[in-house]
Each structure stands twice: as C-alpha cells, then as structure tokens.
Structure 1
C-alpha cells in the first residue's frame, strides 16, 4: 500500500509541475496567479484540480496545449453548490472568464482529444483577484504612502530647522567673535596709548634729571675754579 502511494506521488511529481504567485498591495494579498503544467496520455483521462476562491472574485482560467497543435481542449468549471457546472471547449485552448458570485472550493477538470499524438502537455493558468480586498489593499497602500509622505515631510522640516539653528548659532558665534575682536583691539589701543604715555613721561623725567645733574656738575666746576 505504501509502495503504491510512493509510486503515485513520484509519478504525479514527474507529470505535474507549477508555481503560485500572490498579488499584494499594502502588505495585503488580494489575488494570485497559478501556472500548472501536466501531461495527458489518454483521451479519456480527466485531470481535475481544486482551488478556493472568494465570493465576487474575478476569475480568468485557461487551459492550453504547449507542445502540440490542433488539439481540442475541454475544461469543466464546477462551483461548490454545482450551480455552475459548464464545459468550455476550444482548439488548443479553453478559456473561462467570469466574476463568480459563490465562494468556496471550485473544481477544474481538463481533458484533450490527443489528435495525432500519444500525449500532450497542457498548461493551466488561473488568475483570480478579489475586488473588495483589492480596493481595501489599495486604500491601505494609499494611507501608508500618505503617512510615509507626511513622515518624510516632518523629517525634512526637522532637518531644515536643525540646519537653520546651526546657521543661526554659527552667525551668533561669529558676531560674538567679532565683538570680542573689537574689544581686544580697543584694549590693545588703550594699552598702547598708556604705554606711550608712560614712555613719554619716563623720557621727560629722564631729561629733567639729566639736565639737573649736568647743571649741578657745572656749578661745582665753577666753585672749584
């Protein structure tokens, strides 16, 4: 029993491969895209897949031939309540486009007539997006963008305020430095003037003393004579 299960899983993995991509906005998922590749080796073989959709979702489901032409592709879409259970046919492609009014797990079954070939590889593409969720996601994205914009504006305003404060502080410092330079220049001028006065007074005193000295010597010389 376990060996049969393992063989079935291995065969399924070899015959079927695909990926799912989610559609998001504002951190919220509102849709998805599924691409699935599988091989059909019998005209009576019916491959069924199951996918859950939200009510009022817009669906676009297509099954197409990948490696063969002129193949009649038949695809049946069945809703959970089976109110929808229709076949869609086409040459090399079968397409279903509709907004569903019933949510739940849908059944998607596909087959090919295998005209002129022993097997054919088919690709199933499912695109679904939910309008209400998309609108809510877009609204949240818009609010997030506006919040980010307001935050950036506040940060820029704060940067400008800091820059203005720095410039004002620099100007104030420059003004203080200029005033200090003027005060220092005045102090230097005052000191120079006082120094000059002292030098002049000293020179005058020296001249007076020297003249008195020479005058005293001259009188003494006359007395000696």
Structure 2
C-alpha cells in the first residue's frame, strides 16, 4: 500500500507483522481445536472418564489459557492486513471482513469459557452424577465451535479472499483455495470431524503469502 507523504519503511513493516501474527494465531487455534477434540469426546459415552484424566484436563486448561492470546494475534492480523490493503477495499467486503472477524473472536472466547466450565472444577464423580449437564455443556461447546465460530470464519475467509482477488493481491490459486475453505467451513464442518482445521491452515498460507510479499516491496495489483 502506498501512503502519500508517509515513511516507505512503515509500509514494509506492516505485512511482516501480519504474517507473524497470522502464523502464531494459526498455531494457537490448531492446538486449541486438537485439544478440545481430544479432551471433549464427540459422544457422551465415556466422556466422564475421559475428562477426569488429569493429564487431559491440564493440557486442555493450558490450551484454553492461550485462547485470549490467540484472539489478540488474530485482531493484530486483521488490522495489519487491512492496513496492507489500504483504502482501495470495497465497503461491502470490508464490512464483512471486520464484522465476521470480530464475531469469530467473540465465539472463540465463548468456546473457551464453555470448555473451561466443563473441565475446570468438575471431577469424575460430578460428571457421572450429572450426565445431562455434561451432555448440555459438551453440545454447547461444539455448537459454538462448529455452527457459529466456523461459520463466521467462513465469512471472514470469503471476504478476505474476495478483497485480495479483487485488488490483485492474491494469486489465482490462493483465491480458489480461499473459496474452497469457505465452502468447507459453511457446509461440511458440522458433519466431518476435524475439518475445522482448514481455517488455521488457510490463515497459515495467507500469512506466508503476505510475509513473503513483504520482501518484494509494495504490491502492484494484478489479475494473476
């Protein structure tokens, strides 16, 4: 992005910050998803015994403690990418970009709070004595993660891809990849376990692209 009268060095630092923040966020989100999947079984059968395992509880609580940092890095990633794009973005897609990104962070925090409420103070005997409460909490956690959080991630992916392709900042293959990831997050994620990992993978790819482009100077829009 060219800024009239600004410091050219600042223009180069912004995409590098976006790349680093995106990589850290992608790794944190992937770790949270994996640990939630492992510690909170998809079925209620045997769930109490699984959550009562101290090693699983400790690992999950450690991952959930990192969720706020993941949210911070995601917001930094959003801000740096938007600054990199500049004032050329379409207002419609810019609104979707900001709205879906902020809602995704809110859903991520709600997921962490619900998962922490399940495995924090609860012991094996308490979970076994209240299977209905456990099932409700487990269902709420997966609903927030898949039905709401990943759908907001799909809108964020779609809007970011549309902005990048429209301005010629993303190559053709990255545009198609973004559209494919958005479709998976919209229609497949609730029926195929672990498919939500495509979102941190996509963020990792976009971050790598932005980080690599920072070494080549300001980007010139193209249709490639």
Do they superpose with TM above 0.5?
Answer: no
The two structures have a TM-score, normalised by structure 2, of: 0.21
TM-score (norm 1): 0.21
More strand by share: 1
Bigger helix fraction: 2
Which structure has more RCO (C-alpha within 8 Å, separation ≥ 6)?
Answer: 2
Larger radius of gyration, structure 1 or 2? 1
